[in-house]
Amino acid sequence: MKNEIRSDWNLEEAQSIYNKPLLELVYEAATMHRKYHNPSEVQISSLLSVKTGGCKEDCSYCPQAARYHTDIKVHGMLNPVDVVDKAKQAKAAGANRMCLGAAWREVRDNRDLDKVLEMVRGINELDMEVCCTLGMLTESQAQKLSDAGVYAYNHNIDTSEDFYGDVISTRTYSDRLNTLDNVRKAKMTVCSGGIIGMGESTDDRLKMLITLANLDQQPESVPINTLVPVPGTPLEEQGQVEFEDLLRMIATARIMMPKAAVRLSAGRLERSRLEQGFCFMAGANSIFAGDKLLTTPNPEFNADMDMFKFFGLTAMPSIHEKQKAQQTSEATV
Ligand code: SAM
Ligand code: DTB
Ligand code: SF4
């Protein structure tokens, strides 16, 4: 069988996948999806911003950058007990992963990090997977998070290296890649993707997928966000991404990274149920659920559960739950 997990993708190959007749592309992505995943399971993450706003970076898309005047509720580090309570509620609603976000350029070794580590330990005790997205990490900070039980670290490369400077000037593409390297060294799983709809070309989108697919080890999770244009940010006037472009992007990511969880991330409120269903067909198998992303709205949890029912989809159990189920079945053999 030809090797489908490749790390030598080039632009012509990515273009030839992306530009296939639409239904042919979706069929090929759906076929790949079925080979590596249970197509009726979707992984659900609940997002929580544990420290909101006041960030010193200049990411043009982000409502949490201190230099833009946006209408968000800025707050310092939340109390770990309250965060674990929120995780309990998310678990009861069906989420298997809790993702904690902080508006930091990079992690600092201080009391706030200690609080995050306490949250991580508390959420692990609920048998949920913990994901963190806290900005850049050194090798030793990555190790600290891993030791506390962080399962996945989200750190998006956002776009192509060529377009990166048009969106962010306060850090470089290689800073981002360096953190992804530190995450790998500390044996956390990698969650990395990007945003479409910031004014980049189709080739920029494909180059981003190539960078991710050609990493030494492909990311376990690839979020595809559509820009949520927030008033006050430099990208507030960006127009809506065509659905066809989102669908082609999801399908191409699925074909280039067959084993990854492809996450249909920010921007779902603008998509109909049938459009989202098409994305699940084309290989998306993960979402952020709950009525808020970090600072912007997301579909209501119950509406998502109705959508799952309509399509015959179910929530994926967490890695802890899978391990427990396996131990129980081994014990009864
Ligand atoms: N500060 C950390 C960092 O930048 O890595 C973690 C939080 S940051 C908000 C996480 C990701 O959210 C960004 O990398 C970006 O891909 C995504 N994001 C932020 N604002 C967005 C927006 N308006 N629309 C879509 N995605 C957005
Ligand atoms: C990701 O790729 N998307 C999420 C998560 N990782 C942290 C964040 C989306 C943020 C959308 C804008 C907001 O709500 O502030
Ligand atoms: Fe800060 Fe992250 Fe927002 Fe950039 S994306 S401004 S680093 S919170």
Residue 320 has pLDDT above 90, yes or no: no
Helix axes 243-256, 11-18, angle to 10 degrees: 130
| CB-CB contact of 308 with 93 (8 Å) | no
Provide the pLDDT for residue 326.
75
Q: Are 260 and 219 in contact (CB under 8 A)?
A: yes
Instruction: Report how far ligand 2's centroid is from the alpha carbon of 100 (Å).
Output: 11
* Interval 277-297: pLDDT, tens: 999 999 999 999 999 999 999
Flag whether pLDDT at 265 surpasses 60. yes
Quote the mean pLDDT of the chain.
95
Q: Dump the DSSP string for 291-326.
A: SBSSSSB---HHHHHHHHHHHT-EEPPPHHHHHHHH
The token pair that represents 18 in the structure block: 């992306």
Report the residue among 71, 112, 164, 195 best suited for mutation to probe ligand 1: largest number of ligand atoms under 8 A from its CB.
Answer: 195
Q: What is the pLDDT of residues 295-317, one digit of tens each?
A: 999 999 999 999 999 999 999 87
Quick check: 200 pLDDT over 90? yes
Domain boundaries, the chain: 38-332
3-state SS, 97-161, equals: EEEEEECCCECCCCHHHHHHHHHHHHHHCCCCEEEEECCECCHHHHHHHHHHCCCEEECCCECCH
Encode pLDDT of 9-32 as tens digits.
999 999 999 999 999 999 999 999
Instruction: Check residue 215 and give its pLDDT.
Output: 98
Find the 330 Cα to ligand 2 centroid distance in Å: 39
The pLDDT of 272-280, averaged and rounded, is: 98
Is 293 close to ligand 2, i.e. is its CB under 6 Å away? yes
Residues contacting ligand 3 via CB (< 6 Å) = 55, 57, 59, 62, 64-65, 103, 105, 135
Q: Which of 140, 120, 22 is nearest to 80 (CA)?
A: 120
Q: Is 96 within 8 Å of 316 (Cβ atoms)?
A: yes
CA distances from residue 297 to 72, 229, 263, 265, 294 in whole angstroms, order as listed: 12, 12, 17, 12, 8
Name 97's bridge partners.
Answer: 45, 129
Average confidence (pLDDT) over 43-69: 97
- Buried residues in 211-221 as b, exposed as e (16+ CB within 10 A): bbbebeebbbb
Q: Do you know the residue count of the chain?
A: 333
Reported as a pLDDT band with limits 50, 70 and 90, residue 329 is: confident
Q: What is the pLDDT of residues 104-160, one digit of tens each?
A: 999 999 999 999 999 999 999 999 999 999 999 999 999 999 999 999 999 999 999
By annotation, the residues acting in catalysis are: 55, 59, 62, 99, 131, 191, 263
Pairs from 33-36 (Cβ < 8 Å, separation ≥ 24): 33/254, 33/258, 33/282, 33/283, 33/285, 35/4, 35/258, 36/258, 36/259
> Residue 307, exposed/middle/buried by CB under 10 A (0-12, 13-18, 19+)?
buried
Spell out the residues 6+ positions from residue 273 whose beta carbon is closer than 8 angstroms to its own.
Answer: 307, 310
Question: Which two tokens mark 167?
Answer: 């969106």
Residue 325's pLDDT is: 74
Q: Mean pLDDT throughout 190-202?
A: 98
For the domain 38-332, what is the CATH superfamily, name and number?
Answer: Aldolase class I (3.20.20.70)
- Are 190 and 149 within 8 A, CB to CB? no
Residues whose CB falls within 8 Å of the CB of residue 326, separated by 6 or more in sequence, listed in order: none
b/e sequence 175-193, b meaning 16+ C-beta within 10 Å:
ebbbbbbbbbebebbbbbb
Does the pLDDT of residue 1 top 60, yes or no? no
**In this predicted model, which residue has the larger pLDDT, 93 or 20?**
20
Q: pTM (2 decimals)?
A: 0.96
Residue 3's pLDDT is what? Answer: 87
Per-residue pLDDT at 34 exceeds 90: yes
As a whole number, mean pLDDT of residues 48-56 equals 97
